[in-house]
Chain A
Amino acid sequence: EVQLVQSGAEVKKPGESLKISCKGSGYSFTSYWIGWVRQMPGKGLEWMGIISPSDSDTRYSPSFQGQVTISADKSINTAYLQWSGLKASDTAIYYCARHIPGATTVTTRIDFWGQGTLVTVSS
């Protein structure tokens, strides 16, 4: 059974750093890209970026380039999303999602999702 299990909710102050995780199981972790999706309170889904755990090749949405860092540790089947200086506007639920690579493209679809990690940034 494919599972993506995310780390627990976080409460942080503005300016603090944070790294949340997404652990994959039930499949070959290095054969699929892992992406991150933001959902701000009461708002829609926003595609942030993806990483290939096999070689850490990473693609970012222009909206999130430079704002977050996506990484992965294939030895423990885990992908990460991190911030070096949180802002109140980073308050959101963050989902990881498994992206299926295409024959000639990076990704063509998402199939499985993590349960989400709520990040609250408040002074």
Chain B
Amino acid sequence: QTVVTQEPSLTVSPGGTVTLTCASSTGAVTSGYYPNWFQQKPGQAPRALIYSTSNRHSWTPARFSGSLLGGKAALTLSGVQPEDEAEYYCLLHYGGAQLGVFGGGTKLTVL
């Protein structure tokens, strides 16, 4: 059973920078896992932010960026805004990108 691991919680100050990571139990995350990142606020459906490691959707603010860092997928928020407080999920693809596995989510607090 493949497990995708994220930090359970992180706290950042308004205007600061924070990096969330996403690790795979199978080993280093590469671009072939096509990492995606999603934001979910309470009572709302998830919203797509990043795909294929580092590509923003047309609606994704430029302060969100994706990368590979130390064998993990990473989501960096620069110039954090109060409205960025949310749960963030990564999604990795396995089996030749036929199946997906979500990480457990990171609760980001802006304080």
The residue that B36 contacts in the complex, of A50, A106, A110, with Cβ under 8 A, is A110
The residue that B51 contacts in the complex, of A95, A108, A116, with Cβ under 8 A, is A108
- Rounded to whole angstroms, the CA-CA distance of A116 and B68 in the bound complex is 31
Contact status A47-B34, CB under 8 Å: no
Known: A108-B93, A110-B36. A44 touches B105 (CB 8 A): yes
CB distance from B5 to the nearest CB of A (A): 11
What residues of A have a CB within 8 angstroms of the CB of B57 in the complex?
A: 111
What residues of A have a CB within 8 angstroms of the CB of B46 in the complex?
A: 37, 45, 95, 97, 113
The stretch of B10-18, B78-86, B96-104 that contacts the partner chain: B96-104
Interface 1/0 per residue, A49-88 and B, CB below 8 Å? 0100000000101110000000000000000000000000
State the B residues within 8 Å of A (CB).
Answer: 1, 34, 36, 38, 40, 45-48, 51-52, 57, 87, 89, 91, 93, 96-105
State the A residues within 8 Å of B (CB).
Answer: 35, 37, 44-47, 50, 59, 61-63, 95, 97, 100, 102, 105-116
A sample of 7 cross-chain residue pairs with beta-carbon separation below 8 angstroms, ordered by A number, consists of: A46-B102, A62-B1, A102-B34, A106-B96, A109-B52, A110-B51, A113-B47
